[in-house]
Amino acid sequence: MQNRIFFPQAALDGWLIDGTVELAGNQLTIVGENRRYRIAEAVRVLREVTGQPDVNDVIGRVKSRVYFEELGAEILEGSMIIGDNAYDVATGWLGAPTSSFAEHVASPERAAARKSQNEFGEEPKTDEDLLARFLLKNM
């Protein structure tokens, strides 16, 4: 299965303002690495707030907004209702890399983006490592 990442809307807004990421259509690019992700609107379910059992089994999950709408969910900002359940949620974007990590590392576009010295010393070895370094620097 391909790695996916959830980009919370609040964090994404800040990164767009400071220029660490760019958006073009359904593609997000981490500028310093030139790493690209296909993105789709998504929802991360934080908790059920009515005290009802989570019959939908969605707490702690990230799913596309379309998935929840097909379940009949009503989503408004940080809240979601499905049937008798109400949830606190974080809205954002679900991203999947547009290429393998090996292809990304070998690309001339990445080399151009990485002209500056890597402040962490050695190069990232996986997508997870790349994202962890990005988040440490930008959160």
Task: Write out the chain's pLDDT in tens, 139 residues.
Answer: 467 999 999 999 999 999 999 999 999 999 988 999 999 999 999 999 999 999 999 999 999 999 999 999 999 999 999 999 999 999 999 999 999 888 888 888 777 766 543 555 677 888 888 888 888 888 7
| Sign of CA pseudo-dihedral 65, 88, 76, 83 | positive
Predicted pLDDT of residue 112:
73
Residue with tokens 């997000």: 28
Q: What is the average pLDDT value for the chain, to the nearest integer?
A: 89
Q: How far is 8 from 2, CA to CA, in rounded Å?
A: 19
Query: What is the token pair recorded at 43?
Result: 């929802």
Q: Is the separation of the CB atoms in 85 and 50 below 8 Å?
A: yes
Query: What is the token pair recorded at 52?
Result: 């009802």
Q: What are phi and psi of 33, to 5 degrees?
A: -115, -15
Predicted pLDDT of residue 56:
93
Predicted pLDDT of residue 117:
39
Q: How far is 84 from 96, CA to CA, in rounded Å?
A: 32
